[in-house]
């Protein structure tokens, strides 16, 4: 059902984003891979070009100019935008056994701003600029990423502030655009995941992105009545949070 549709994946050069881009490419969707690391974006797009038409874009999702240019380039290249996956984020990855982020009393404002502007600000900007394209067609899916972090030990505050905010953002935007037939949902990986950048010990202990299966493809086909909800991928299907 996604063949010929156009998908943007932010942070698509590696990790969960790259996994998602791969699953979309297998469905023959046209995939734009946006990443702050230009080399990663080009490598992923090059590898997926054997499956479908791809486009690599160097994008810092904190930059309104970058995001606007990304959306304009995708619209110009493919003539439409059907799916946006807001995946780009700064993630603490505490489950990998790496040092925890500072407590709030010790955190530099620059670090706080970078996390907030990337995770929450990037989701806002991506959504803002794809909506006019989707509203014109009266069709589209926006998928936002959720993640978890324990209250103890400390260190997850900045990250969780962004993720809980994205949950609220998703619910409100879903209602704003419901009459335009645009489905906006949030997707939770549910468990810690070790991507290619994780230490070897973590990769041996934790599942990789493949545990998410075809979850993003299913999310991009959810009906409008599911808009605003949070979903997890379990046993080959999406399960909505009650």
- Residues forming the active site: 159
Residues 6 or more apart whose Cβ sits within 8 Å of residue 115: 90, 158, 159, 162
Bridge partners, residue 140, by sequence: 182
């Amino acid at each position: 059902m996604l063949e010929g549709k156009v998908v943007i994946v932010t942070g698509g050069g590696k990790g969960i984003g790259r996994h998602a881009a791969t699953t979309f490419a297998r469905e023959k969707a046209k995939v734009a891979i946006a990443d702050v690391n230009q080399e990663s974006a080009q490598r992923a797009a090059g590898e997926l070009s054997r499956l479908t038409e791809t486009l690599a874009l160097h994008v810092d999702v904190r930059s309104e100019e970058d995001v606007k240019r990304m959306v304009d380039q995708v619209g110009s290249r493919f003539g439409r935008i059907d799916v946006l996956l807001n995946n780009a984020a700064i993630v603490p990855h505490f489950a990998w056994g790496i040092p925890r982020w500072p407590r709030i009393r010790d955190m530099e404002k620059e670090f706080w701003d970078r996390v907030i502007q990337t995770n929450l600000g990037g989701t806002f900007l991506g959504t803002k600029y794809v909506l006019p394209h989707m509203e014109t067609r009266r069709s589209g899916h926006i998928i936002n990423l959720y993640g978890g972090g324990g209250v103890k030990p400390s260190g997850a505050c900045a990250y969780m502030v962004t993720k809980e905010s994205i949950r609220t953002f998703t619910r409100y935007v879903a209602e704003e655009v419901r009459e335009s037939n645009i489905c906006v949902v949030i997707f939770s990986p549910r468990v810690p995941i070790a991507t290619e950048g994780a230490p070897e010990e973590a990769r041996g202990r934790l599942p990789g992105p493949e545990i998410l299966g075809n979850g993003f493809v299913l999310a991009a086909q959810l009906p409008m009545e599911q808009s605003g909800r949070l979903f997890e991928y379990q046993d080959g299907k999406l399960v909505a949070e009650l």
